[in-house]
A and B are shown apart, each in its own frame.
Chain A
């Protein structure tokens, strides 16, 4: 009876929507609802402990913009980190990819796997390993410096103002350079061998090939790398929390750490949500700007 009232096309459509339903529910429950709830509660004084809260208008946002220099100081750490780490990581990834693509297949596979390996290691393990490397008294770097007679340069790498952020950037680059390399590598595979061969015949050296072929033809990969890296760095938490704890003092304290402390130590969940929303907006705006700047142009021939 029911079958007769719907046409085959209708039934297909209904079935299609039915198949979409679980994913739609998941999207609503686990994505849209938390975002909407976060935005709503960012206008409250919710402590995160109980269900009770009061709406306090824009007070949390006003506080962030007028009386929270620490938030903006942390944001400046994020921005500094994002630009340095992204530049270093992208450059290194590009150079690695250029190097690897010109090796034999066997070596390519070896380096691809080796360099990608840190990407799949959990952040906690990476932080523990780098902490041992950076430890002032018996860390790998300082032991090495002392062994080669450069002991005067041995410092507390993660507890020194001038080296702490650099220490995080180095470990982060070690972690993600392989990922960047893979993106470039895949992009470079699309470059026609004939084109490169013609260039070579015409006398283009390695540098000329990089400058006029590899670099412009992997612009899409550069865009993806920049966007992923910058947004990741602006939201960074784990590596800072585990490696420096935001120290020394507040020199490597990033926005996410302030958000966590505001929520879980000060019991100001409403304010922490407002801080997260501001961060979210900054990340989105940055992403849009970078995409506009780096979007591949169609004029390359």
Chain B
């Protein structure tokens, strides 16, 4: 009896040991596989990726067929056999347009698209992680401000050879400026624009008509109108709703509008240092724009708490009829329309931020085609990735984004059914002349500047000169960082 018991215990101990050893082996094996996987090195532009033992086709292997005009909107790029293009975007709200775009691209090119989506504020991290792990997306969303940084890291596929091989591609874009300002580095095209973003003032026309308010023609008239609105409504109506969260958001956009005109009047608008965002001594111009904004802010032209409101909250305030104007970007158009139908049913109008009376041109410099796509230099299927981007900029796809998603797209020959949208598009068409296009990796310079702006606006002890000094200092450091 005792012997049997002991034998049983020995068996159990033995089974336990075996199970434990198996578990250990599994853990060690999984650790080894986890550490060895994902270590695929990145390849530089034009280099071959040999991760699967086959040399990758590069832009240098572009087929002659690509140069031929097939008569179709989508010109074949001799896409690699069995190409699977991994695509990362940030537009869950445009999922339908993405699906339709991919359907068209897969119809026109022999490739398959695998879609991934990430929140807009996570996209840089997503790309960085994917890139560092060697599992980068073949095509991905990028803002134009990120292009120099990505290029510096060897991330971007040079699309220039594809544009040269397919002369029908470039005319697809609205104008040369929108393409070159998006991602042209030293004559190389490192990405393609999708849509434009610019700040406008949308106003409650119903409210304006009822109160006899008129659209201001100059910046001074805008200030007078704000004063009048506050006086007429006993401070119950916020003249301009400019949500300032996060990092100043539209409040900073308003300052930028004021600043652009100041710079123009000072004759510095075409200063090459300004156009490349390398100005590190504004000689009081930046301070002046800050002073005007602070004055307007302290006179409650933007309400009591603009820095506490995010975009959606600002929209809500506007549509509940407690603000007469809303500073917003054109891509909010759909949301605004929907909200208008649900809530107030006001008649809406829009106008650009007006120039001061001494300024002979109303500028639209801070708008531009900043949203777009890039392709990965280390892609196993570079031709397919380029073909995908070619497809994304085709008239058929761009029309979907224009009509269905109400975007102002970077494409030529689009006629917008919506008059408001058409007016935005007209502004974009002539917006590029004075646009600032950094020629270095600005990193988080934009965010840092906006934060200093909010510091200045909310800190009574901070002077305008100190504000400008800090802005100059940030720019100097960003340039140094980029050139390090």
Residues of chain A whose beta carbon lies under 8 Å from any beta carbon of chain B? 18-19, 21-22, 25-26, 29, 45, 47-52, 59, 67, 70, 135-137, 155-161, 245-251, 253, 261-268
Contacts and interface: CB of A to CB of B under 8 A. Distances in A.
B334 interface: no
Contacts of B20: 19
A290 B311 CA distance: 44
A49 B246 contact: no
A140 to B, nearest CB: 14
Contacts of A161: 458-459
Interface of B: 20, 24, 27-28, 31, 35, 41-42, 124-125, 128, 131-132, 149-150, 152-155, 244-247, 304-305, 307-309, 313, 317, 441, 443-444, 447-448, 451-459, 477, 481, 484
Contacts of B155: 49-50
Contacts of A50: 42, 131-132, 153-155
Contact of B484 (A18, A45, A48, A262): A45
Nearest 9 pairs of A and B residues by beta carbon: A156-B308, A266-B443, A249-B455, A159-B308, A49-B153, A265-B444, A249-B454, A156-B305, A159-B307
A261 B451 contact: no
Given A249-B454, A250-B451, A158 B308 contact: yes
A49 B128 contact: yes
Contact of B35 (A22, A29, A49): A29
A263 B152 CA distance: 15
B131 A49 contact: yes
A26 B30 CA distance: 11
Nearest to A45: B484
A279 B72 CA distance: 58
B153 A268 contact: no
Given A48-B128, A157-B308, 6 more contacts: A22-B27, A29-B35, A159-B305, A159-B309, A250-B452, A251-B458
A84 B454 CA distance: 25
12 contacts: A22-B27, A29-B31, A136-B305, A155-B305, A157-B308, A159-B308, A245-B245, A247-B245, A249-B453, A251-B458, A265-B444, A267-B443
A137 B313 contact: yes
Contacts of A250: 451-452, 454-455
B443 A251 contact: no
B128 A248 contact: no
A251 B317 CA distance: 26
A80 B447 CA distance: 24
Contact of B31 (A26, A136, A247, A265): A26
Contacts of A157: 308
A25 B30 CA distance: 12
Contacts of A245: 245-247
Contact of B481 (A26, A137, A160, A266): A266
A225 to B, nearest CB: 33
Nearest to B484: A45
Nearest to B473: A69
Contact of B443 (A49, A70, A265): A265
